[in-house]
């Protein structure tokens, strides 16, 4: 099943997201939900509204963040942030899915950019390759790039 989704962070750019129905049973429910709305907004609520509704369910949950480096805004120096736990939020769902896509399904930076709607710079940073910006338009349409990797059953 292929969903055509507008990406708000990309000025409404259309992304095609392929999901194998036989391997992702929730894809059928998602399809039926999309069908209710036709060309209208499918998700008429904000993430802030969703967070207000679900935060009590996440209150005692956390997830691990690995050690990483960042540039300190005040000093401009590179600093190391040690591994730590982070409070579980809606963003954690994206983090968990991206982690699952990499660790279980074998996605790389290009696959994640196509599936998640991330910028092409994500792929560039991960692989150290130089990719023309115009390629991003085609990357978001190319669900065939990662689809075979999703054809994997959990045991």
* pLDDT tens figures, 58-110: 999 999 988 989 899 999 999 999 999 999 999 899 888 988 999 999 988 87
Which pLDDT band holds residue 149 (cuts at 50, 70, 90)? very high
Angle at 84 between CA 80 and CA 87, to 5 degrees: 130
Residue 117, SS3? coil
* pLDDT tens figures, 18-57: 999 999 888 999 889 888 877 666 777 888 999 999 999 9
Per the CB < 8 A criterion, the answer to whether 122 and 112 are in contact is yes
- Per DSSP, helices labelled H in the chain are 26-37, 47-58, 90-103, 109-116, 120-127, 135-139
Entry pTM:
0.76
Residue closest to 145 by CA, chosen among 134, 136, 154:
136
Record the tokens describing residue 75, joined without a space: 């000093």
């Amino acid at each position: 099943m292929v969903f055509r989704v507008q990406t708000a962070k990309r000025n409404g750019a259309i992304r095609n997201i392929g999901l194998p129905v036989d391997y992702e049973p929730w894809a059928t429910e998602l399809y039926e939900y999309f069908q209710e709305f036709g060309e209208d907004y499918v998700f008429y609520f904000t993430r802030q509204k969703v967070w207000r509704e679900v935060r009590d369910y996440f209150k005692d949950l956390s997830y691990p963040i690995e050690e990483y480096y960042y540039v300190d805004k005040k000093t401009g120096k590179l600093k190391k942030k040690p591994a730590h736990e982070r409070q579980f939020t809606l963003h954690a769902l994206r983090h968990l899915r991206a982690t699952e896509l990499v660790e279980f399904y074998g996605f790389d930076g290009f696959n994640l950019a196509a599936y998640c709607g991330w910028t092409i710079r994500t792929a560039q940073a991960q692989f150290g390759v130089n990719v023309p910006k115009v390629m991003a338009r085609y990357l978001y349409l190319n669900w065939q790039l990662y689809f075979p990797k999703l054809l994997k059953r959990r045991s």
